[in-house]
């Protein structure tokens, strides 16, 4: 079978990474490297005793213990040789031992846009109110990230009441940070040094900006007249502006250590946060298993304690099976656009205007009087034509481009746009135009140097003009903020896609989508990097960046609003409320599309775009019992001994079914449904249970099914009648192909309605997905 270029590149990347890891492990085997020793729940006296004995033994043997976990779960991070790690992994009280991984972060108007999107659904009675809760001051959002800039106006505590008495956290003193930096908004700050790295900050202060940005997106106080040097001007605010923030700095410029992530989970559980937001994770290429994934481990124990955990889906899209953070106890978030465009027009000498995208503060004159040249025509004698077409550094002749606007293709990743731009600038170019359909959808910054990004269709018009005249000319206009841009939302091209390779029978693809493109939020005040700070200007208080990192805190803000109104709801009930009330249409009242214009599927956006108010009153909830998560581990293939260690204490009479298989994961009481099995000859039936969480104690819901042609979907019963004494009811869904021509993967939805609420669950039926 012939392999595609993409497959070849993927295979090469795998082999290169595997070779590197083997060399790294060999180099470290004698000197020792940091391993995480995971021992399960902290509720078991046996676990605690074993933890103490093992820890004491390691300390006596002079092993360097980096972290000890003992609040939400037991274990430790310790420096070991490879042989020591292998030996320790055989201990009966240990679930897993694995090298300390390094994860990466998944990097104003958005809240107004979400409210507007919700308003389009009012006529359908899906949402009865557009009012966000005004008081959520007892809700504590814990954020694991790069730290925080406490002086930002987004973290002022004006008008906030006393800190909740249940808060058990702390504000750690550190480098350029002390307890006085915390207040009634920022109530806690911890840091975890990156052991074995050059990045030793000893402080919760943010040196990157990422953590400050996501914290203000989730719960920042309203700040009027916010902007990025006048771009995207307006009031910046978080989704739950009256919630409290607790920052756990687990990331440095070098990445996010798994051992620090687990330590932060352990502390956050003891601190009694309500919500945890993590805009970070592994790459899709090296997604770990559940018992070797610090995020999945920490999140499992946090959810056990009633803490809702929200994670970004990753930025490895748009390729399929790139979604990460896929454990069923995590709410996983994709990224979409909002109705705002940062337009930087290219004006040609024939006065034709090409609408481009960038954030630049060009000082070129408005008239198209600057010579325009394409990269091929400016080729240096030593360069290849293809290199010059793409404007590789040192591929262009300085004399040919001096004072001119250079037209460059950007359809590969050998060099970044910034590297190419710097090359054009250094050679005396007057400006640069890049051609890239994906980059056109996400604004790139160029400071005062004129730059714009256009799509391939417009590029053809530009080349046609260049070839039609002896002296082509143009100009690049400074960025203008365009609002009410249509269509919006669309799925960001970088947003990771489903299905999950490890859990094909769980519609984790991801769960929900939220704004993650060109988001304005708070920033660190000492950032002087060239692509952030405008020459001659002070560093900005707010910055515009994109990523599923930005979409994750949007959902955290919504979760905080729901939690404040429904403090007794479990994490699974909150997840259900968000997923079943999601938005499926854009601001044209048409189905949400991907970046390429095709209708988005659940593999792109999960249940849909998050509604900021719909989840406050969802009507019904799909609640997942703690034992269901243990059954998931059974179905996935874990043995009962490890499951007992992980859970701390098994429910009375619990055991793994004799015929456990991944097919049975379809029956986990998730708000969506996934079936990965050929249903051409035999049907597949799954079961779901819903709880009436509405104030109306007596109500009847009837079902509607949206199914593709050729797939028979039967729901029994087709009506659910709730009474004062009957709050929970179950139904079954049977899938059967009635036509052999049906595609390998099909999508649909099941919706329950009672005249007041619409409770929608997407489904996918696939016959060709690989198992774990």
Residues with a known catalytic role: 145, 210, 549
Q: Which residues of 705-737 are buried (b: 16+ CB within 10 A; e: fewer)?
A: bebeeebebebeeeebebeeeeeebebebebbb
CB 658 within 8 A of CB 732: no
CA angle centred on 492, ends 300 and 611, rounded to 5°: 60
Nearest to 253 by CA among 181, 146, 166: 146
Q: Which residues in 281-302 are b (16+ Cβ under 10 Å) and which e?
A: bbbbeebbebbbbbbbbbbbbb
Residue 585 in tokens:
């249409």
Q: List the one residue out of 522, 517, 564 whose CA is nearest residue 539.
A: 522
Judge contact between 473 and 370, C-beta under 8 A.
yes
Rounded CA-CA distance 473/482 in Å is 26
d(CA 509, CA 500): 6
Q: How far apart are CA 341 and CA 328, in angstroms?
A: 35
Q: How far apart are CA 372 and CA 26, in angstroms?
A: 54
* Euclidean distance between CA atoms 497 and 321, whole angstroms: 6
Quick one: the chain helix, strand, coil %, rounded to 5? Answer: 25, 30, 45
163 upstream amide cis, omega within 30 of 0: no
Q: How far apart are CA 40 and CA 301, in angstroms?
A: 9
The answer for residues whose C-beta is within 8 angstroms of residue 649's C-beta and 6 or more apart is 41, 43, 44
606: left (phi over 0), alpha (psi -120 to 50) or beta: left
Helix, strand or coil for residue 118?
helix
Residue position matching structure tokens 């099909």 = 746
Alpha helix stretches (DSSP H) within 134-244: 210-219
Q: For residue 584, count other CB atoms closer than 10 A to its CB.
A: 17
3-state secondary structure of 11: helix
Query: Which residues in 565-617 belong to E strands, given as ranges?
Result: 593-594
- 328 touches 511 (CB < 8 A): no
3-class state of residue 155 by DSSP: helix
Q: Are 37 and 31 a contacting pair, CB within 8 Å?
A: no
Residues 6+ apart with CB under 8 A from 361: 229, 447, 448, 478, 479, 534
In this structure, are residues 360 and 445 in contact, taking their beta carbons and an 8 Å threshold? yes
| Cα–Cα–Cα angle for 574, 577, 581, rounded to 5 degrees | 155
Residue among 231, 263, 235 nearest 249 (CA)? 263
Q: What is the DSSP string of 241-292?
A: TTSEEEEEE-EETTEEEHHHHHHHHHHHHHHT-SEEEE-EE--GGGPPPGGG
Helix (H) or strand (E) run with residue 405 in it: strand 405-409
Sign of the C-alpha dihedral computed for residues 629, 631, 637 and 640 taken in this order: positive
- Contact by Cβ (8 Å): 735, 683: yes
Instruction: Select from 676, 665, 759, 685 the least CA-distant residue to 720.
Output: 759
């Amino acid at each position: 079978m012939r392999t595609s270029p993409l497959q070849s590149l993927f295979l090469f990347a795998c082999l290169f990474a595997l070779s590197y890891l083997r060399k790294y492990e060999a180099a470290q085997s004698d000197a020792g490297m940091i391993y995480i020793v995971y021992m399960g729940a902290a509720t078991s006296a046996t676990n605690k005793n074993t933890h103490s004995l093992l820890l004491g033994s390691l300390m006596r043997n002079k092993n360097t213990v980096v972290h000890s976990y003992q609040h939400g779960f037991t274990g430790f991070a310790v420096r070991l040789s490879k042989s020591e790690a292998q030996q320790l992994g055989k201990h009966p009280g240990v679930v897993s031992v694995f090298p300390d991984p390094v994860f990466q972060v998944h990097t104003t108007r958005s809240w107004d846009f979400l409210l507007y999107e919700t308003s389009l659904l009012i006529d359908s009675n899906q949402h009865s109110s557009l009012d966000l809760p005004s008081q959520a001051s007892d809700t504590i959002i814990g954020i694991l990230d790069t730290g925080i800039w406490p002086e930002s106006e987004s973290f002022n505590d004006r008008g906030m009441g006393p800190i909740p008495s249940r808060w058990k956290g702390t504000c750690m003193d550190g480098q350029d940070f002390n307890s006085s930096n915390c207040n009634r908004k920022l109530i806690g700050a911890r840091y975890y040094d990156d052991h074995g790295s050059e990045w030793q900050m000893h402080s919760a202060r943010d040196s990157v900006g990422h953590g400050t940005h996501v914290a203000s997106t989730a719960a920042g106080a309203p700040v009027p007249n916010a902007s990025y040097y006048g771009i995207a001007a307006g009031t910046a605010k978080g989704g739950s502006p009256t919630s409290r923030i607790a920052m756990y700095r687990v990331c440095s410029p070098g990445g996010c250590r798994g051992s620090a992530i687990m330590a932060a989970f352990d502390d956050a559980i003891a601190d009694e946060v309500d919500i945890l937001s993590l805009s970070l994770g592994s790459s899709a290429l090296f997604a770990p298993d559940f018992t070797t994934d610090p995020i999945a481990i920490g999140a499992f124990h946090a959810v056990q304690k009633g803490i809702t955990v929200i994670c970004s889906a990753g930025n490895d899209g748009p390729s399929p099976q790139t979604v990460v953070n896929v454990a069923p106890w995590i709410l996983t978030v994709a990224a979409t656009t909002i109705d705002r465009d940062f337009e930087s027009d290219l004006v040609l000498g024939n006065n034709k205007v090409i609408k481009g995208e960038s954030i630049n503060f060009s000082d070129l004159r408005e008239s198209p009087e600057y010579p325009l040249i394409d990269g091929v025509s400016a080729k240096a004698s030593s360069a290849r034509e293809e290199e010059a077409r793409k404007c590789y550094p040192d591929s262009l002749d300085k004399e040919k481009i001096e004072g001119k606007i250079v037209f460059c293709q950007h359809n590969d990743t050998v060099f970044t746009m910034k590297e190419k731009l710097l090359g054009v600038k250094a050679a005396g170019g007057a400006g640069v135009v890049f051609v890239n359909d994906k980059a056109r959808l996400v604004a790139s910054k160029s400071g005062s140097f004129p730059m714009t990004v256009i799509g391939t269709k417009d590029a053809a018009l530009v080349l046609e003009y260049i070839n039609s005249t002896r002296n082509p000319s143009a100009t690049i206009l400074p960025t203008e903020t365009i609002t009410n841009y249509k269509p919006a939302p669309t799925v960001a091209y970088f947003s990771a896609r489903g299905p999950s390779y490890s859990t094909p029978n769980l519609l984790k693809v991801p769960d929900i989508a939220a704004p993650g493109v060109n988001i304005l939020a708070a920033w660190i005040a000492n950032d002087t990097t060239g692509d952030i700070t405008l020459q001659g200007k002070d560093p900005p208080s707010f910055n515009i960046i994109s990523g599923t990192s930005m979409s994750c805190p949007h959902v955290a803000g919504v979760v905080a609003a729901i939690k404040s109104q429904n403090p007794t709801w479990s994490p699974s009930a909150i997840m259900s409320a968000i997923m079943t009330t999601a938005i499926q249409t854009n601001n044209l009242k048409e189905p949400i599309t991907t970046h390429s214009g095709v209708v988005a599927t659940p593999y792109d956006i999960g249940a849909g775009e998050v509604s900021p108010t719909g989840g406050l009153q969802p009507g019904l909830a799909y609640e997942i019992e703690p034992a269901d998560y243990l059954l998931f581990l059974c179905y996935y293939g874990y043995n009962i001994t490890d499951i007992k260690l992980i859970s701390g204490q098994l429910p009375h009479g619990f055991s793994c079914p004799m015929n456990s298989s991944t097919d049975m994961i379809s029956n986990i009481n998730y708000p969506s449904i996934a079936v990965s099995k050929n249903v051409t000859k035999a049907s597949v039936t799954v079961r779901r249970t819903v709880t009436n969480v509405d104030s109306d104690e007596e109500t009847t819901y009837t079902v509607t099914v949206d199914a593709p042609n050729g797939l028979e979907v039967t729901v029994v019963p087709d009506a659910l009648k709730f009474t004062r004494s009957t709050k929970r009811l179950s139904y079954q869904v049977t899938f059967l192909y009635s036509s052999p021509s049906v595609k390998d993967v099909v999508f649909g939805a099941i919706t329950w309605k009672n005249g007041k609420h619409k409770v929608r669950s997407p489904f996918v039926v696939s016959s060709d997905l690989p198992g774990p």
